């Protein structure tokens, strides 16, 4: 894969640039516990990388009203506001790789299911606030990952074609979203090696940022 074939790199956030899923899972658990609802671990795992709308509909049923769903999503977000500063951790090599890609002339964007305030706080922690040109939050869109809309919106805002960008994703819903939007997809993390479902969605895979670097023959 040639880096010169692309004009932009679009990164997912959680699990790709920063590790924050434990905070989100705990935030969901706390809100659902207040409702007396227990959720199997496999349901939490299935919604990694996806927005809160689908998760809440899954665990509370299709009769959940939009107003109630939004109320609960706000409660989960408020819990995450408390937990993220305690539990959020940068992924080793992420910031350095982004900076090298920017130095090589690529435009950098983030496409995440997280609320914008959480994306911006994570980028500040990573020291990438001035490096990331465009941020798309799936929480602000009518449809989130695995729907292609978040990545299509990223391309629209960047004014690029799908062939001009690659996406970096650690979760299947995000990889599916990017793939269906027509982007080249790089699967990131140990799960991409362990789960054969990634094979049909990802053009290449990297277990960490050292192996990511080798995809392009070193950046």
What's residue 192's pLDDT? 84
Tokens of 132: 């990331």
- In terms of domains, do 97 and 164 share one? yes
Q: Are residues 113 and 12 in the same domain?
A: yes
Task: Choose one of 87, 106, 124: the last residue of a domain.
Answer: 87
- My answer on whether 60 and 115 are in the same domain is no
Backbone angles phi, psi at 131, to 5 degrees: -95, -35
Q: Does one domain contain both 69 and 169?
A: no
Give residue 101's pLDDT. 97
CA distance 214 to 209: 9
Q: Indicate whether 125 and 211 sit together in one domain.
A: yes
In this structure, are 209 and 124 located in the same domain?
yes
Residues 35 and 51 occupy one common structural domain: yes
CB 10 within 8 A of CB 109: yes
79 shares its domain with 153: no
Domain boundaries, position 70: 21-87
Residue 6: name the closest of 109, 128, 153, 130 by CA: 109
What is the C-alpha to C-alpha distance for residues 142 and 115, in angstroms, rounded to an integer?
A: 13
pLDDT (0 to 100) of residue 122: 93
- Which pLDDT score, from 0 to 100, does residue 193 have? 75
pLDDT of residue 62: 83
Number of domains in the chain: 2
Q: Yes or no: say if 126 and 18 are a contact pair by the CB < 8 Å rule.
A: yes
Same domain, 65 and 135: no
pTM over 0.85: no
131 and 37 in one domain?
no
What is the residue-level pLDDT of the chain in tens, covering all 219 positions?
889 999 999 999 999 999 988 888 999 999 999 999 998 999 988 887 677 888 998 999 888 898 999 899 999 989 988 998 888 899 999 999 999 999 999 999 999 998 899 899 999 999 999 999 999 999 899 999 999 999 999 999 999 999 999 999 999 999 999 999 999 999 999 888 778 888 899 999 999 999 998 998 876
Residue 51: the pLDDT is 74
**What is the predicted pLDDT for the residue at 138?**
93
**For position 46, what pLDDT does the model report?**
83
Helix (H) / strand (E) element for 135: namely: strand 134-137
Q: Are 100 and 79 found together in one domain?
A: no
Last residue of a domain, one of 87, 103, 133: 87
Q: E strand or H helix at 137, and its extent?
A: strand 134-137
Radius of gyration of the chain (CA): 17
Report the SS3 class of residue 114: coil
Same domain (yes/no): 128, 200:
yes
**Strands of 184-188's sheet, edge to edge?**
134-137, 107-112, 8-11, 165-169, 184-188, 204-206
Among 37, 56, 87, residue at a domain's last position? 87
Structure tokens at 34: 């207040």
CATH number at residue 96: 3.40.50.1000
């Amino acid at each position: 894969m040639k880096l010169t074939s692309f004009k932009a790199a679009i990164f997912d956030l959680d699990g790709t640039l920063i590790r924050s899923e434990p905070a989100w899972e705990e935030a969901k658990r706390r809100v659902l516990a207040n409702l007396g609802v227990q959720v199997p671990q496999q349901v939490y795992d299935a919604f990694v990388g996806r927005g809160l709308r689908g998760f809440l509909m899954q665990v509370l049923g299709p009769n959940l009203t939009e107003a109630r769903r939004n109320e609960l999503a706000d409660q989960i977000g408020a819990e995450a506001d408390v937990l993220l500063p305690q539990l959020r951790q940068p992924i080793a090599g992420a910031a350095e790789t982004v900076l090298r890609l920017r130095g090589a002339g690529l435009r950098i964007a983030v496409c995440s299911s997280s609320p914008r305030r959480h994306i911006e706080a994570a980028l500040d922690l990573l020291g990438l606030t001035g490096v990331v040109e465009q941020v798309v939050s799936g929480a602000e869109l009518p449809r989130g990952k695995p729907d292609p809309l978040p990545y299509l919106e990223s391309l629209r805002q960047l004014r690029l074609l799908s062939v001009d960008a690659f996406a970096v994703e650690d979760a299947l819903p995000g990889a599916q979203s990017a793939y269906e939007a027509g982007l080249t997809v790089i699967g990131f993390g140990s799960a991409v090696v362990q789960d054969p479902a990634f094979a049909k969605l990802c053009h290449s895979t990297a277990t960490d940022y050292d192996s990511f670097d080798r995809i392009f023959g070193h950046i």
